[in-house]
A and B are shown apart, each in its own frame.
Chain A
């Protein structure tokens, strides 16, 4: 099992009471996003890599060094957390409340002659040198986050692990700092594993993504592909594809490259797959890809214009989610507040839902 080169290689089983995690991760560089609902085992996987919990079996390697190994015979390597040189940013940042920003960043450099200077230099890199004397409770959430990252990076770890680094921030701050943090991580030039349950964050931060559910890796690959067009229904549910429509195939038109499917009065054209007439299929459609119009549009490339009645309009993050009934099939669309106002969208309004065929994707079961 040994002989890996640079980067992180994890293949472990962790047992905590009734919960079992089986995680296999490979990361050579860049940012790997560990994505999944809460309770999926994402944080557990990070803690195993950092040495804060011991797996029941498996192997963890970092840059060719074995950090953990336990096989069926029980042969055991378990490097203690303090010797792993793994940077860890905790969900609540875990800044020491009795130390200043500088004291926190200097913590891992204890008893080194240049601790003060190096800590200050690191704070400067995250643009916080002027707040060096502040205590954690005197800083904003975003500033605390940067101190936590500076502290994790100051002793030059071989990998950086971030556990839900943005959940402690409000939505606006989150969007604003995401780019800064990504640039910071890029500059650090070490592999990064970032845990999140937020789709937008996964898309913004990840070079690669591993999706965990109930202790199992269920998908891994490119974030844009996996989150934009999840290949399986289970993945789609996890990543939050708002519309999963159970439809019957009515016509297959290979010449046009489309399938016509529907249920009752509802009908939809989707891209061609190997489905046959009469098959029941699940079509995924992101709410962001459903446009709304007050009149049936003409001269439009989108092939599907579906009559819809609005059931509810609710704020959803920065946008509004409009839930509609389309002849017995529920459909959700995300629109901006301005659109809600200009189109006068309210429960009971009759609208046209416009969907490009290419935005629909047929999911494997």
Chain B
């Protein structure tokens, strides 16, 4: 039984925070790789990363069960057993949010002029320096937009999470799962609260992304390059 929305909210925030951290790291690596490096099998990697967009969440969840569950290298060799804990929910949410993050990051990185990166190289920058001092600052709007979209998608994750983390109240039951349970037991007051909260968070996320995109198009000639600077 669910008593209030506080447990699911706390779990949703925990799961979203970890998922967003995973998204940031994996999304940047994959986005830069796909935008800048021409390696054999690139189209395969691209396709696999985008798969969660179209696969049923139960299928994504099933794959994750195989990867994280009994007999998998992660469980047998590393000894990491996270199935049916909230970090498993975070991983499932990250995988489902990844396509959005990677798409946005790749487009943003590809939009940074190679001559700026070459300029940084002739000015003594290492490849890491080029990335952190030129590519990332110039692509930050797109990266941030991708992170918000991916994070929002992660917060709304239901199916894959259910497969790998279950719906254990107080331990793995996030807001989307709690909404389902609340409706099952006909607690519409609680369901309404959680639905409103989730809708409001999603609205804020999409609105923020739109604002970033608009600032990006205006920023070509105008002084908005500084807006996000400290």
Pick the contact of A151: B115, B116, B123, B222 (CB < 8 A): B123
Chain B residues with CB under 8 A of A84:
122
Q: Is A110 within 8 A of B225, CB to CB?
A: no
Pick the contact of B121: A82, A92, A137 (CB < 8 A): A82
Q: Is A94 within 8 A of B113, CB to CB?
A: yes
> When chains A and B are docked, how far (Å) is the Cα of A138 from the Cα of B113?
19
Chain A residues with CB under 8 A of B206:
none
Q: Is B223 within 8 A of A50, CB to CB?
A: no
Q: Is B121 within 8 A of A90, CB to CB?
A: no
> When chains A and B are docked, how far (Å) is the Cα of A88 from the Cα of B119?
7
**In the complex, which of the residues A90, A94, A107, A151 has the most CB atoms of chain B within 10 Å of its own CB atom?**
A94
Asked if B218 is an interface residue, CB under 8 A from chain A, the answer is no
Q: Is A94 within 8 A of B221, CB to CB?
A: no
> When chains A and B are docked, how far (Å) is the Cα of A83 from the Cα of B119?
13
Considering only residues 87-124 of chain A, those with a C-beta below 8 Å from chain B are: 87-88, 90-92, 94, 96-98, 107-108, 110
Q: Is A97 within 8 A of B138, CB to CB?
A: yes
Pick the contact of B118: A94, A108, A137 (CB < 8 A): A94
Q: Is A81 within 8 A of B115, CB to CB?
A: no
> When chains A and B are docked, how far (Å) is the Cα of A151 from the Cα of B229?
22
Asked if A135 is an interface residue, CB under 8 A from chain B, the answer is yes
Q: Is A107 within 8 A of B137, CB to CB?
A: no
Considering only residues 83-123 of chain B, those with a C-beta below 8 Å from chain A are: 113, 115-116, 118-123
> When chains A and B are docked, how far (Å) is the Cα of A81 from the Cα of B222?
32
Chain A residues with CB under 8 A of B222:
137
> When chains A and B are docked, how far (Å) is the Cα of A135 from the Cα of B137?
15
Instruction: Give A103 Cβ to nearest chain B Cβ, in Å.
Output: 10
Asked if B211 is an interface residue, CB under 8 A from chain A, the answer is no
Q: Interface size for chain B: under 10, 10 to 19, 20 to 34, or 35 or more residues?
A: 20 to 34
Q: Is A86 within 8 A of B122, CB to CB?
A: yes
Chain A residues with CB under 8 A of B221:
137
> When chains A and B are docked, how far (Å) is the Cα of A98 from the Cα of B137?
7
Q: Is A98 within 8 A of B138, CB to CB?
A: yes
> When chains A and B are docked, how far (Å) is the Cα of A91 from the Cα of B182?
64
Q: Is A50 within 8 A of B122, CB to CB?
A: yes
Interface of chain B, main secondary structure: helix
Chain B residues with CB under 8 A of A81:
118, 121-122
A contact residues, total (Cβ < 8 Å): 28
Chain B residues with CB under 8 A of A97:
138, 225
Pick the contact of B122: A87, A96, A135 (CB < 8 A): A87
Asked if A270 is an interface residue, CB under 8 A from chain B, the answer is no
Chain B residues with CB under 8 A of A135:
223, 225-226
Chain A residues with CB under 8 A of B121:
51-52, 80-82
Considering only residues 326-343 of chain A, those with a C-beta below 8 Å from chain B are: none
Stretch at the interface among B124-132, B143-151, B157-165, B196-204: B124-132
B113 (CB) vs chain A CBs: closest residue: A94
Pick the contact of B123: A80, A91, A155 (CB < 8 A): A155
14 contacts between A and B (CB under 8 A): A81-B118, A82-B126, A88-B122, A90-B115, A90-B118, A92-B115, A94-B113, A94-B116, A107-B120, A107-B133, A108-B125, A137-B222, A137-B225, A138-B223
Q: Which 10 A-B pairs have the closest CB atoms?
A: A94-B119, A108-B123, A88-B122, A81-B121, A94-B115, A82-B124, A98-B137, A108-B124, A98-B225, A52-B118
Which A positions have Cβ atoms within 8 angstroms of B? 47, 50-52, 80-84, 86-88, 90-92, 94, 96-98, 107-108, 110, 135, 137-138, 151-152, 155
Known: A98-B137, A110-B125. 17 other contacts (CB 8 A): A51-B122, A52-B121, A82-B125, A90-B118, A90-B119, A94-B115, A94-B116, A94-B118, A96-B134, A98-B138, A98-B225, A98-B226, A110-B124, A110-B129, A110-B133, A137-B223, A152-B123
